[in-house]
């Protein structure tokens, strides 16, 4: 019999509450149990994921990465230069978070190595939040690893009750869930309770409720890359809202259920088909027509 | 579902279905061929055909055929690396009929074998093999998988099952299909434990056995 299994946030909070654990610690114990591994092994595996997040961020902040289509790239570097200039408007943590989130999402678009968190299309949000808190607030490596386990707790709860695919439920299930995971992580890292972490996840997800999946040309580039940046800023806002003590009443499981309901009622044009939303803007259509006219440069065979 | 499914997988972007899944399909194609391919005709279907270029689906498939893993940074350069690795590749588009939108047919040629594989990428890096040559299959390859071809005669399944049982290997699923009664048959088995080389040799030396391929989860 497994001791640390859970089906939803209510069960996870009860588990954590009974033993006075954080969400991060509960999921570490879940993972040790599931894999039959020691604490050190499980933490080392997560440290490996953090390391890959760091190198993706470093690459995107310092190199002029470009996607195959040329539609995105270089944004992380520009944002980093802007932040360093001291003229940024959104403040130290958020300014850094949007630069890192953009950098990581651009590395993904440019066929670099990333950690899907929870998906490849939303891979910049969690590194954006965690690495900016490290740089600006002095959080240590071990706290970041704990933060990734908190994020995993929220992601696992979401994945148990909903699809995390934009094609199934829209971008709310990718960038929305990533922002919820990041917000919860930030709250626990800052010393918040499991209930507060779940609350921040709910605030983040409700703020992105209904977000559609509308990739231009079907590529994970526009609007995906910049949604990682705005998603990271959004997650930090949700964390602050809860840490400040603003009352929030909705259980996270109900917010997830609402997301499933909303996602299921989205028309196909807004679920990763590249036909609605931003993808349908006249300029986006022109970009795509231009892109695909020059694509057939390789020897092709007919069957 | 665990923590490393949502903080993971580690992969080469940009898309778990169109890139990571495509690398896995290529790797499985190579495993089913049973040797490094020297020629590959790749036919893209549906969404794979429409968006392969921006997602690097073509590079990802070739990377898998070269044996690269989903997080290998050489995935990006796979098309340029293929000639040096002795792999000649050509691409086309093809309507594969009633299959998942992210599907592909790989016609593979090695030094001694050829095989045609149809596979689909279901999302999140999950893939399924739908066809091997003329046989319809449904292989997720999440577990160690054995594929065997032999003339359709009584006793083959029992002999294979007995060998595996003797080696302490538990069969998780088994599916047999055949061209027609008495013609060639194809058996797909998933096992809970990897099948050790000695047991594979024993299976291959069963009198009626033609080919036995062991596919490790990728």
Quote the CA–CA distance of B48 and B123 in Å, as a whole number: 12
Q: Do B2 and A110 touch (CB under 8 A)?
A: no
Place A293 in a pLDDT band, splitting at 50, 70 and 90. Answer: confident
Asked if residue A219 belongs to a domain, the reply is yes
Matching residue, tokens 């998603």: A231
Contact A4, A19 (CB under 8 A): no
Asked if residue A299 has pLDDT above 50, the reply is: no
Asked if residue A301 belongs to a domain, the reply is no
Q: Give me the pLDDT at residue B182, please.
A: 81
What average pLDDT does this structure show over A192-208? 98
The topology under which CATH files domain B3-133 is 60s Ribosomal Protein L30; Chain: A; (3.30.1330)
Contact A184, A126 (CB under 8 A): no
Q: Any chain A CB within 8 A of the CB of B116?
A: no
Q: Do B2 and A303 touch (CB under 8 A)?
A: no
Indicate which CATH number applies to the domain containing A269.
1.10.4100
Q: Give me the pLDDT at residue A248, please.
A: 97
Asked if residue B68 has pLDDT above 60, the reply is: yes
Asked if residue A78 belongs to a domain, the reply is yes
Please give the share of chain A, as a percent, with pLDDT higher than 90.
90
Contact A71, A216 (CB under 8 A): yes
In the 8-state DSSP scheme, what is residue A191?
T
Place A2 in a pLDDT band, splitting at 50, 70 and 90. Answer: confident
ipTM confidence score: 0.95
pLDDT tens string A54-64? 999 999 999 99
Place A294 in a pLDDT band, splitting at 50, 70 and 90. Answer: low
Q: Any chain A CB within 8 A of the CB of B181?
A: no
User: What is the number of structural domains in chain A?
Assistant: 1
pLDDT tens string A40-50? 999 999 999 99
Quote the CA–CA distance of B133 and B115 in Å, as a whole number: 6
Residue A230: strand, helix, or coil: helix
Total CB pairs under 8 A between chain A and B:
148
Asked if residue A4 belongs to a domain, the reply is no
Chain-wide mean pLDDT for chain A?
95
What average pLDDT does this structure show over A132-158? 98
Asked if residue A1 belongs to a domain, the reply is no
Asked if residue A218 has pLDDT above 70, the reply is: yes
Range of the structural domain that residue A163 is part of: 9-291
- The total of other beta-carbon atoms located within 10 Å of residue A272's CB is 27
pLDDT tens string B124-155? 888 999 999 989 999 999 899 999 999 998 99
Asked if residue A296 has pLDDT above 80, the reply is: no
Q: Do A116 and B9 touch (CB under 8 A)?
A: yes
Q: Any chain B CB within 8 A of the CB of A178?
A: no
Supply the DSSP string of B58-106, one letter for each residue.
Answer: HHHHHHHHTT--TT-GGGGGHHHHTGGGT-EEEEEE---SSS-SEEEEE
Q: Do B54 and A167 touch (CB under 8 A)?
A: no
Q: Where in chain B is the domain with CATH 3.30.1330.90?
A: 3-133
Quote the CA–CA distance of A153 and A249 in Å, as a whole number: 20
Burial class from Cβ neighbours inside 10 Å (0-12, 13-18, 19+) for residue A198 reads buried
Contact B102, B120 (CB under 8 A): yes
Contact A167, A257 (CB under 8 A): no
Question: CA angle, corner A214, sides to B94 and B91, nearest 5?
Answer: 20
Greater model confidence, B38 or B218: B38
Q: Where in chain B is the domain with CATH 3.30.70.260?
A: 145-215
Is CATH 3.30.70.260 the right assignment for the domain spanning B145-215? yes
Asked if residue B181 has pLDDT above 90, the reply is: no
Q: Do B15 and A149 touch (CB under 8 A)?
A: no
Quote the CA–CA distance of A27 and A3 in Å, as a whole number: 11
Q: Do B59 and A111 touch (CB under 8 A)?
A: yes
Q: Any chain A CB within 8 A of the CB of B196?
A: no
Place A108 in a pLDDT band, splitting at 50, 70 and 90. Answer: very high
Q: Give me the pLDDT at residue A302, please.
A: 45
Q: Give me the pLDDT at residue B217, please.
A: 86
What average pLDDT does this structure show over A101-127? 97
- Residue A44 CB contacts under 8 Å (≥ 6 apart), including other chains: none
In the 8-state DSSP scheme, what is residue A3?
S
Whole-angstrom CA distances from A146 to A116, A133, A237, A290 are 18, 13, 20, 46
Q: Nearest chain B Cα to A148, which residue?
A: B7
Residue A234 belongs to what H/E stretch?
helix A224-243
């Amino acid at each position: 019999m497994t001791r640390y299994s859970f089906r939803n946030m209510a069960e996870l909070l009860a588990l954590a509450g009974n033993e006075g654990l954080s969400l991060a610690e509960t999921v570490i114990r879940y993972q040790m149990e599931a894999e039959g591994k020691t604490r050190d092994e499980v933490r080392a595996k997560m440290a490996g994921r953090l390391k890959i997040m760091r190198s993706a961020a470093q690459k995107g902040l310092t190199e002029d990465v470009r996607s195959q289509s040329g539609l995105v790239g270089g944004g992380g570097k520009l944002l980093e230069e802007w932040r360093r200039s001291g003229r940024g408007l959104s403040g130290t943590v958020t300014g850094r978070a949007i630069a890192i989130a953009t950098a990581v999402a651009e590395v993904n678009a440019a066929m670099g190595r990333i950690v899907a968190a929870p998906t490849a299309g939303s891979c910049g949000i969690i590194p954006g939040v965690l690495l900016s808190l490290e740089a600006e607030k002095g959080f240590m490596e071990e706290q970041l690893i704990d933060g990734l386990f908190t994020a995993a707790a929220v992601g696992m709860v979401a994945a148990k009750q909903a699809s995390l695919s934009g094609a199934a439920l829209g971008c709310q299930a990718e960038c929305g869930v990533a922002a919820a995971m990041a917000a919860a992580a930030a709250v626990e890292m800052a010393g918040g309770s499991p209930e507060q972490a779940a609350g921040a996840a709910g605030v983040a997800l409700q703020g992105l409720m209904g977000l559609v999946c509308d990739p231009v040309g079907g590529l994970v580039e526009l609007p995906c890359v910049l949604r990682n940046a705005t998603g990271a800023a959004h997650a930090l806002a949700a964390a602050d809202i809860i840490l400040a003590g603003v009352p929030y009443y909705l259980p996270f499981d109900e917010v997830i259920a609402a997301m499933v309901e909303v996602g299921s009622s989205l028309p196909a044009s807004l679920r990763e088909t590249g036909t609605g939303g931003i993808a349908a803007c006249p300029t986006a259509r022109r970009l795509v027509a231009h892109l695909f006219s020059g694509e057939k440069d390789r020897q092709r065979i007919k069957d | 579902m665990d923590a490393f499914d949502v903080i993971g997988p580690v992969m080469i972007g940009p898309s778990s279905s169109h890139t990571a899944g495509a690398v896995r399909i290529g790797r499985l194609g190579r495993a089913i061929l049973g040797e490094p391919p020297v020629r590959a005709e790749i036919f893209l279907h549906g969404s794979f055909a429409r968006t392969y270029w921006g997602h690097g689906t073509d590079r990802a498939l070739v990377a898998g055929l070269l044996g690269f893993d989903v997080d290998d940074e050489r995935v990006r350069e796979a098309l340029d690396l293929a000639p040096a690795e002795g792999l000649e590749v050509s691409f086309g588009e093809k309507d594969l009929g009633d299959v998942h939108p992210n599907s592909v047919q790989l016609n593979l040629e090695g030094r001694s074998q050829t095989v045609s594989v149809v596979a689909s990428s279901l999302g999140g890096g999950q893939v399924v093999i739908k066809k091997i040559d003329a046989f319809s299959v449904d292989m997720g390859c999440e577990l160690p998988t054995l594929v065997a071809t032999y003339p359709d005669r009584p006793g083959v399944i029992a002999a294979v099952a007995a060998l595996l049982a003797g080696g302490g290997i538990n069969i998780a699923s088994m599916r047999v299909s055949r061209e027609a009664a008495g013609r060639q048959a194809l058996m797909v088995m998933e096992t809970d434990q990897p099948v050790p080389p000695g047991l594979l040799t024993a299976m291959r030396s069963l009198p009626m056995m033609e080919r036995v391929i062991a596919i490790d989860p990728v």
